[in-house]
Structure 1
Amino acid sequence: MSEPLKMIEPEWPVSSRVHAFTTTRQGGFSEPPYESWNLALHVGDDSIKVKKNRSILEGELISVQEIGWLNQVHGTQVVELTETGIQSPEADGVFTSLRHKACAVMTADCLPVFLVNKQETWVAAIHAGWRGLVDGILEQAVQAYGSDSEDLIAWLGPAISARHFEIGDDVRQLFLSQSEKDGKFFKPFKEKYLADLYGIARRKLEARNLQVYGGDYCTYNQSELFYSYRRDGVTGRMASVIWIE
């Protein structure tokens, strides 16, 4: 193993009954440009090394019986992890009320979001890139809870910050066509705009009366900790995992 294992854990008012963390790039077996704890099999990395990296992750999942991996497509589908697994894994969000079943999403600039209810009997992991945010992935995840959204707490995991996320006016207009309130999250930059994914996600969740935490990292800027597709192009993926003990 090339480096000590390092993970990012949420700072939020949730007890130790619920476990959650986002992995970093530190601690695995992958070689450049995937060094070193890449968990994705679809990015061109050596599959043997990726499987070794996943075995490290599995060793960190205390009492977990299954990880609900998804085939992420930048959509809005949110699926349930049941006793028999996930029926249609082509989705960008997964939730469960079962103990010892882990919900997981992979990212390398897009925003990973954890949800947990205050009773700590329901958890979810969501992959929210700009397409998912525009199309309503967070709203779909909140709706999947099926009860009062005020019961939910959210944590925004490591994503690209507004300082480095450059988009065109076409993307900006998609957001503004849904809510003029999102205008403040776009700042002119040369002939384009810098977009604040954290700010947009926070607004959307707080509008539904969720308590929101996190949003303190930048995958692009913190190269020693995180993979970044915008920064590197060919790169690995982190995993954000949450489960009920």
Structure 2
Amino acid sequence: MKQLPAQTRWERRTQWPLLALAVAFALAYTVPVVHPGAGTGVQDVCVGVEWVVWGAFACDYLVRLALSGQRLAFVRTHWLDLLAVVLPLIQPLRLLRVVSTLALVGRRARMAPQIQLTVYVGGAVVGLLMFGSLAVLEVERGAPAGNIKTLGDAVWWSFTTMTTVGYGDHAPTTGLGRLIAVGLMLSGIALLGVVTANIAAWFISRFERDGEEERRQTALLEALTQEVRSLRGQVAALAGASKCACEQGTRGAPLA
């Protein structure tokens, strides 16, 4: 049995632990936003969990870089991972940790061969809706002219933004909030394109399978037709030979 590369073995072993850390990150990010009046200790714990999770993904990137064997090629092909690791160090904003962790989770999920595209797209939609709602609520809740003050308003805004409907009843007023809106719009368009392409590919493959089955049945019918024709020829030849034998026997028989 062929042994898998060290990088592949590492990615398979760390897939579920990193997914559990991503869930912990989601909870740590959600609590202070949904309950802004939580105590200082709770907020410090949540911030610490966020940094620990980001650090785990950063270490994962460094380990995969070391195991790749071709570090320059790995950096070129995983430059989004590198940006997600470096950005929070350049400017340690809470929102950057959210973006970087989402990017790293998404990259690692796409590497997992057992995760189907539909499951990935569904998880991406839920994750973007949740984090987009929380991020815009955190940014817009304290804005003087902001109209996104509750979690319900933020979730409704995220739905209308990702689907590019844009009713306009809720809209961000700060620069960072509008930047989040642009990200959600682009993500919604991209995910819609992925879903549409997946559905189209399913229909095409289904039609190809139906066409292949129809061609197989047609070929089988043609083979059966040829076999029937061959059998008819053999039967006719046997009948002719039998008739000739009977006629010769009749001619050669002595008269009574």
Normalising TM by the smaller chain, what interval?
under 0.3
Question: TM-score, normalised to structure 1's length?
Answer: 0.24
